[in-house]
Chains A and B, each alone.
Chain A
Amino acid sequence: MKAYTNNQEITLKVNGENYKVVVKPNETLLNVIREKIEMTGPKPGCENGDCGACTVLVDETPIKSCMALAVDMEDKAITTVEGLKNTEIQKAFIDKEGYQCGYCTSGFIVKAYSLLENYEKPNQDTVEEWLSSNLCRCTGYEGIERAVNKVIKNR
């Protein structure tokens, strides 16, 4: 049985790179990515699983990193928005102004990227179901929708 007590070194694979970090079991994945790996793409918003600003992929599945323990993530492939540089969806968010203040943008990009990896041409119900996991407090949803639809249209 694997046991994690107090401070312990673990290896997290983030965006294809291995990072050795010393963590305690009470540290969330969000906290470790931001504070110890120093990738600030995933954002602390509500830290209660509501807003989606902290969304990352774990083994290609989107999760909210504020509700995951870092010690539970060894041997898994983690992707943050930093790992989605120059992807079609990132470019579409820029082209279609899928952001206002930008705080929620990384979570939306990660979630939208996963949606478009899972569906070649998702219908609007599927887009809505997937993206309603994330909140934009500026209410900039139209730009986000335009960005996602641009990628779908180009396929």
Chain B
Amino acid sequence: MISFDFDYYQAETAEEAVEKYLELVENNKNVSYYNGGTEIVTYARKDKMNFDAVIDIKNIPECTVLEENNNKITIGASISLNEVVEKNYFPLLSESSKVIADHTTRNQITIGGNITGRLPFKEALLPLLVVEAQVKTYGKEGFKTRPINEVFDKRMKLAKEEILIQIIIDKEKTKLPYYQERKVKQSDTDYPIMHMAALKDNGNIKFALSSLCAFPFRNKEIENILNDDSISREEKMNQTIDNFPVPINSNLRGGKEYKEMIFRNSLNDCLDQLRGEK
């Protein structure tokens, strides 16, 4: 039971959802979009989140698309993580998604919710960053399709009323060799200490990281270091850590030094696998 009252709207189209959002905001209402609901319901129950209304977007037809055709894979924002895993159109995304939360919860967590929500881990985002996916959104200015790497900077930078509708992936890139590793403190269903995803594209590593720092990131400077054959393995690791956008954070899941050790071990394995270096 959530301790405060709110109104619930079920949108049938993106236009309807945004129109309702703008109308409610105009009337000084605090509004949140609602997809799988796992984060909103649990946060609201703990009074960590408050709103006057939610607009459910999971009945918008474009948000429920999951298809592979021609050269593209299209994943609607309301597709659950388990559906992503079961269809397995993009193996790296499946690997990164099937370790999030637990099996039952993955029936409720949507891919859109995972990458736009408040939780900082956003693990399904990592494969999308390295594969350079496009995101289709709908807002005041209509539909827009942009590279996810331009939209994501610490968080998804969408306008207040803007909805993530779909993720579009170049099919060829989903076949590239990849490396994925997730480390947890104890239980597999726990939040991660570190989640790493990397692809090898034209001999170069594309690399994204979550949970080690305050937000997930993909960083070109780090990729240049990882792909530079003139730098020793040890030096690559040192320079990579030096180029994190923010320092590794210490929390109950692990201290900074411990997390750094975990990262170094995983990066070592990643480079072994994708660059064949020893």
Contacts and interface: CB of A to CB of B under 8 A. Distances in A.
Interface string B3-20: 111111111100010001
A63 B81 CA distance: 13
Nearest to B10: A2
Contacts, number: 92
B12 A1 contact: yes
Contact of B9 (A3, A6, A31): A3
B27 to A, nearest CB: 13
A111 B8 CA distance: 29
Given A67-B105, A133-B104, A4 B41 contact: no
B107 A25 contact: no
A1 B9 contact: yes
Contacts of A69: 8, 37, 41
A68 B108 contact: yes
Interface in A3-20: 3-6
A72 to B, nearest CB: 7
A119 B11 CA distance: 35
A26 B9 contact: no
A71 interface: yes
A62 interface: yes
A119 to B, nearest CB: 12
28 contacts: A1-B9, A4-B7, A4-B8, A4-B10, A5-B7, A25-B54, A26-B1, A26-B5, A27-B1, A27-B2, A28-B1, A28-B41, A28-B45, A31-B1, A48-B42, A49-B38, A49-B42, A49-B101, A52-B102, A63-B107, A63-B108, A64-B108, A67-B37, A67-B41, A68-B41, A72-B8, A132-B103, A133-B104
Interface of B: 1-12, 16, 20, 37-38, 41-42, 44-46, 54, 56, 101-105, 107-108, 188-189
